[in-house]
Structure 1
Amino acid sequence: MADNGDSFPVMAVPLAPKIQQEIQTKFGSFDKGLVEVGPGRYLLPPHCRLYLDKYAQFRFRPDDVVVTGFPRSGTTWTQEMVWCMTHDLDFTTAINTPLRERSPFLEYDSIYRPDFPLPSFLVDSKQHPDVDPDTTGVFLAHAESVPSPRIIKTHLAFSILPPSILESCKVIYVARHPGDVCVSSYHHQRLLKLMNFKGDLEEFLDFWCRDLVMLGPYWSHLSEAWAKRTHPNLLWLYYEDMNKDLLRELQRLDHFLATGLTEDELLQVAQHSSFANMKARPATNYSLIPESPILTPGEAEFVRKGATGDWVNRFTPQMKAKFQAWVETGSKAVEEVPPRYTQG
């Protein structure tokens, strides 16, 4: 990969053995532990060390659009809308081609277990026959090879990505209330065999409130993006705003992306990417793909509920008290980042 001048060392430090052991008792697929990455101490599996320099040096193109945010904040939804808007409203391809094939997931080599079979709906390894998935990265190769305009998804914090990213391309950051993110993450990490969480929601909340979930801490991730909010190449979206008035947010996207779509065309995007349609299509709801090797049968679907404020109904009073104490640990971020909160 060519050096774009953004090369810098990204440190990865193992968690303390006692914490590792505690995580391994509940997350069945973290048998090799986790490491803290970069100044924000974001959690990733240890084989991420193979790719950190490559993420820091990734060569973004001027017509790239990067969709980012903390996991389960609405990035999949945003990917689908942005891909259609920047690809001439090609709904036929969007319906029939898996989203991850159309819109690459930059760091999935670091999240995906090398010993798991690689299903084609994530990325077709046959398209990259010369790539060693254990050292080079099939998902990275896919991201590099997708023709422009690329819509690239990442959950990596800004401090792990190239410092020049906002000078290189456009970035959309999607934020969502952390209570809903926590509940959605709980179901997601029970569903994905890559995490294989075996506890209940209260136990997951305990890990969440100690910043011991994949790609956490949440507040650091949010704050790094908020600090860049005034850059002309960054658009900040709230999941709650998209749920409340999708046409208005699509108009903001249209202006940011300069796609020049009419209101009628934006309404077509809204219809195509409605929650019901996203949930009904295997191209976006991977739970509909028969016998997926990475999904646990019997768990909630990949596209699950799409609600806002449901965390209030799921947390007991004791859980709400613990969650509120955690919110106060991010008080600076809560104060700076205008929240879309449903108070519990």
Structure 2
Amino acid sequence: MAHKYFIYKGMQFPRLDYSLEVLSYVENEFQVRDDDVFNITYPKSGTNWMLEILSLIRCGGDPSWVRSVLNWERAPWVENVPGLEVALKYPPPRLLCSHLPVQLFPKSLQRSKAKIIYTLRCPKDVLVSLYHFSKLVHLFRDPGSLDSFLEDFLSGNLPYGSWFDHVTGWMGLKGKENFFSITYEELQQDPWDSVRRICHFLGKELSEEQVAAVVENASFQSMKGNKMSNFSQLRDEYMKHQHGGLLRKGICGDWRNHLSEAQSQRFDTVYRERMQGLGMTFPWD
């Protein structure tokens, strides 16, 4: 049932909360507005952290909104059934989330000035985080062994497809004035500067006190303790809460605690092959 997927345009999606009709509607009919702000990531790349940061920037660092409204209602995922319902009723300006690759994203984006914030993360950390996440949620099938999951990740045999295709697709928009990219590693290393840069991109200048409030209220500890942000309110049909929480570690480089030397080398070989044409370097390179 929930662990099975269906295929839309060659890509796997969970049956739980997703449908061919909604994906087709989002791609072809969903109207992106000029004042929309999209938080876009490949799964497990810092989506909820960025969602929290954007929610707090919107409120000038005041945490009352993030402590009173569930994060998936503050910034719904447009591509699933309940998320689309919220997005269509959302008063402007909308804050929206998506894991969709660029080729399945609403076509109306091309005619709009909507702002895209794209967060990337070291793919080895994404792999490890996604492996643990897949054991927790009913959306995804059991990941099996780390060895077999590694092969699924490298081949793109997962919901939302290949990390490599996702990143190269979205980073193709780099240089456009409504596109901003940042890495999880930059957010970790200097959250104050990261928040200032995001504010500048959004055209929302905050005082240093407000920036500090955003950083503090979007910290891992703050989010872990906030039931509106830690997914503890997700119903049991979606998540095995007894096996752990969604916010697991929130650190960089955790892959070193999980991948063997052979697995790491196997990953590096495919990474070099797939990323050589991009002409970009990342903090993890």
Aligned positions of 1:33-72 closer than 5 A: 33-37=5-9, 41-45=10-14, 48-56=19-27, 57-72=29-44
Matched, 1:339 2:282: yes
Aligned positions of 1:1-344 closer than 5 A: 29-31=2-4, 33-37=5-9, 41-45=10-14, 48-56=19-27, 57-109=29-81, 138-165=82-109, 167-197=112-142, 199-286=144-231, 288-289=232-233, 292-332=236-276, 335-341=278-284
In the superposition, relative to structure 1, how do residues 314 and 54 fare at CA in structure 2: closer, same or farther (>3 Å)?
same
1:55-89 superposed Cα distances (whole Å, 9 cap, x missing partner): 12211222110010101111111111112212344
SS in 2 for 1:147: coil
Residues 278 and 285 of structure 1 are in contact (CA less than 8 Å); yes or no, is this contact kept in structure 2?
A: yes
TM-score by length of 2: 0.91
Q: 2-side partners of 1:104 and 1:331: how far apart? A: 31
> C-alpha root-mean-square deviation of aligned residues, in Å?
2.0
1:169-188 superposed Cα distances (whole Å, 9 cap, x missing partner): 11100011100000010111
SS in 1 for 2:25: helix
Q: 2-side partners of 1:291 and 1:82: how far apart? A: 25
SS in 2 for 1:320: helix
Q: 2-side partners of 1:44 and 1:337: how far apart? A: 29
In the superposition, relative to structure 1, how do residues 148 and 255 fare at CA in structure 2: closer, same or farther (>3 Å)?
same
Q: 2-side partners of 1:221 and 1:290: how far apart? A: 27
Q: 2-side partners of 1:50 and 1:241: how far apart? A: 37
Q: 1-side partners of 2:248 and 2:24: how far apart? A: 34
Residues 187 and 300 of structure 1 are in contact (CA less than 8 Å); yes or no, is this contact kept in structure 2?
A: no
Q: 2-side partners of 1:87 and 1:208: how far apart? A: 37
- For 2:41, the aligned partner's letter is G
- For 2:70, the aligned partner's letter is P
Residues 31 and 108 of structure 2 are in contact (CA less than 8 Å); yes or no, is this contact kept in structure 1?
A: no
Q: 1-side partners of 2:83 and 2:213: how far apart? A: 30
Q: 1-side partners of 2:123 and 2:103: how far apart? A: 21
In the superposition, relative to structure 1, how do residues 60 and 217 fare at CA in structure 2: closer, same or farther (>3 Å)?
same
Q: Percent identity?
A: 25
Length, aligned pairs only: 281
SS in 1 for 2:39: strand
Residues 65 and 150 of structure 1 are in contact (CA less than 8 Å); yes or no, is this contact kept in structure 2?
A: yes
Residues 187 and 299 of structure 1 are in contact (CA less than 8 Å); yes or no, is this contact kept in structure 2?
A: no
Residues 63 and 150 of structure 1 are in contact (CA less than 8 Å); yes or no, is this contact kept in structure 2?
A: yes
- For 2:215, the aligned partner's letter is A
Q: 2-side partners of 1:100 and 1:199: how far apart? A: 28
Residues 59 and 65 of structure 2 are in contact (CA less than 8 Å); yes or no, is this contact kept in structure 1?
A: no
Query: 1:326 Cα deviation (Å)?
Result: 2.3
Q: 2-side partners of 1:165 and 1:233: how far apart? A: 10
SS in 2 for 1:168: coil
SS in 1 for 2:32: coil
Query: 1:290 Cα deviation (Å)?
Result: 8.1
Gaps of 5+ in 2: none
Query: 1:291 Cα deviation (Å)?
Result: 6.3
Query: 1:254 Cα deviation (Å)?
Result: 0.9
Q: 1-side partners of 2:268 and 2:128: how far apart? A: 15
In the superposition, relative to structure 1, how do residues 322 and 299 fare at CA in structure 2: closer, same or farther (>3 Å)?
farther
